[in-house]
Chain A
Amino acid sequence: MNTNKMKRNRIIANHGSSFVVILCILLFWQASTQIFTIPTWLLPAPTVILTEAVAGWPNYQHHLISTTKLALLGLFIGVSVGLLVAIVLHLLPKVKRAVYPLLILSQNIPIIVLAPLLVIWFGFGVMPKVIVITLVCFFPIVVATLDGLRQTNPELMHYMRMIGASKQQIFLKLEFLHALPAIFSGLKISGTYSVMGAVISEWLGANQGIGVYMTLAQSSFRTDRVFVAIVYIMILCMILFVIIQTLEKTWLKGREKGRMEHE
């Protein structure tokens, strides 16, 4: 009970200033819309958006669930593939030298440009959407994991070699665990990207999802609904971020300080 309270107090202390800033912006926004009588279709007041968010819940709830599922599925596949690719590239340095520049180059192609191609090849089903999300989630994980694996502490590496650890043991007992914090950094980025990827993929053509809800709202000038969608996208990203951060804290418990002292 008491510790919970302390925790809450700490959260407020840490993030209190952000709350104040957000509150100020909202107040300013509310005041501006009223003072300058800005039409709702141009810029709805925060209160209007809130009203719609509450009243419209039954209308958009299934869109929200659909997007969440899609983002999670894409994130899972993207992260799995990314980890696998990173590990394979790490274990095969020659292949890595050939492939790594191509990987970076591939990131210069905007997903939006690829999307129509994916639709042509895979139609309007789940497949092209998952591919889009996978593509955006994949890169941060690969780069973070490869970086983490490359930066293995040379002293620990030397020790493992001297006592005769096999390549597999070195990877499992040292390199991978050493790379975990880096992998989690990549995971946080991928997590946020996955929601964005999901919404973009829904713009390609879908029958439900926040992306669809947004498109519909936009074409009927329901700007308040567009804002509701934006707020939910932000909330989804934040929830994913917090989940990943909590996982990170429980997994890497006890070593956080040690790392800082070592590096």
Chain B
Amino acid sequence: MSELTVSNIAKSFAKQLVLDDITFTINDGEFVSLLGPSGSGKSTLFHLIGGMYRPDRGAFFLDGKEITGKRGVISYMPQSPSLFPWRNVLSNVILGAEIHRKVDKDKAREMLKKAGLANYENAYPHELSGGMRQRVAFVRALLSPQDFICLDEPFSALDEFTRLDMQTWLLDIWEKNRKSVLFITHSIEEALYLSDRIIVLSSNPAKIKREFDLPFQRPREQSLLLSKDFFEWKRKIYQELEQLKVNS
């Protein structure tokens, strides 16, 4: 069980308002994407949820309990994989659990197998490809004991082919695990392919522009990407983002 409520969050840096009155809820087992222009304050919102600093106004609740400013209540996958170069793959993926003293190596091995990394347990990060590193970072987030995961543009550094593979792989793993996910992305397609719901942010300051509930069935297949429905949605959201540009 884990349900995150973001309530009236505002944050400014040096008098510049970055986030203005952000409110939304992510239900248990839901996959929600935050879509917004670069510099709109998406990462800032994550850092606030993670307790790196406090919001000027507003609060966060996890399952009804206030978590504003508290660290370690969410599991996190940063934009860059941020693997520890002196740890091999196995001890890298258990790090999140290790911090909270809940290591389960058998589960970690099983997870690595599902991630296609069974033979790389003892490899060091520099011996892996970019896509493999992202997978290790994702497995690390999944193995962390928290039920709520924040993913900050996990695939933005990958090429188109690898990215599609990774998205499909992530869907597959996630559909079996069903933790609640908040996912930041720049890519409309990525948001459509993965999420149950898309929240579009405007920028300067970031406000919630619109929310879209997506009707696509799960489990999802890659063929969805070529369906007519998908194109319709893509156009709809694209227009929404275009409007943002016109307004600003």
Contacts and interface: CB of A to CB of B under 8 A. Distances in A.
Contacts of A177: 84, 86
Given A162-B47, A164-B99, A169-B99, A254 B124 contact: yes
A262 interface: yes
Nearest to B49: A162
B86 A255 contact: yes
B20 to A, nearest CB: 23
Contacts of B76: 159, 162-163
Given A162-B47, A169-B99, A155 B124 contact: no
A262 B125 CA distance: 10
A155 B95 CA distance: 15
Contacts of B46: 162
Contacts, number: 68
A165 B125 CA distance: 21
Contact of A163 (B47, B70, B85, B96): B96
A180 B74 CA distance: 30
A257 B85 CA distance: 9
Contacts of A159: 76, 78, 82
Given A155-B78, A254-B124, A255-B124, A161 B52 contact: yes
A24 interface: no
Given A255-B124, A258-B124, A163 B144 contact: yes
B208 to A, nearest CB: 23
A21 to B, nearest CB: 36
A5 B158 CA distance: 44
A43 interface: no
A15 interface: no
Best-surrounded residue of A156, A164, A254, A255 (most CB of chain B within 10 A): A164
A155 B80 contact: yes
Interface string B36-63: 0000000000110011100000000000
Q: Provide the main secondary structure of the chain B interface.
A: loop
A42 interface: no
Contacts of A254: 86, 88, 124
Contacts of B126: 255, 257-258, 261-262
Nearest to B144: A163
Interface in B89-134: 95-96, 98-100, 124-126
Nearest to B86: A255
Contacts of B95: 173
B146 to A, nearest CB: 8
Contacts of A158: 52, 78, 82
Nearest to A181: B86
Q: How large is the interface on A (under 10, 10 to 19, 20 to 34, 35 or more residues)?
A: 20 to 34
A252 interface: yes
Contacts of B71: 161-164
A259 B84 CA distance: 10
B124 A164 contact: no
B205 interface: no
Interface in B147-197: none
Contact of A252 (B47, B73, B74, B86): B86
Contact of B50 (A156, A162, A252, A258): A162
A251 B239 CA distance: 56
A171 to B, nearest CB: 13
B125 A258 contact: yes
A164 B51 contact: yes
A182 interface: no
B75 interface: yes
A174 B78 contact: no
Interface string A223-263: 00000000000000000000000000000101101110110
Identify the 9 closest CB pairs spanning chains A and B, nearest first. Answer: A164-B72, A258-B126, A258-B85, A164-B71, A162-B50, A255-B86, A159-B82, A162-B76, A155-B82
15 contacts: A155-B78, A155-B80, A155-B82, A156-B84, A158-B78, A158-B82, A159-B82, A162-B50, A162-B76, A164-B70, A164-B72, A173-B99, A252-B86, A258-B124, A258-B126
Given A162-B51, A163-B144, 16 more contacts: A155-B80, A156-B84, A159-B76, A161-B52, A162-B46, A162-B74, A162-B76, A163-B50, A164-B71, A164-B72, A165-B72, A169-B99, A174-B84, A177-B84, A252-B86, A255-B126
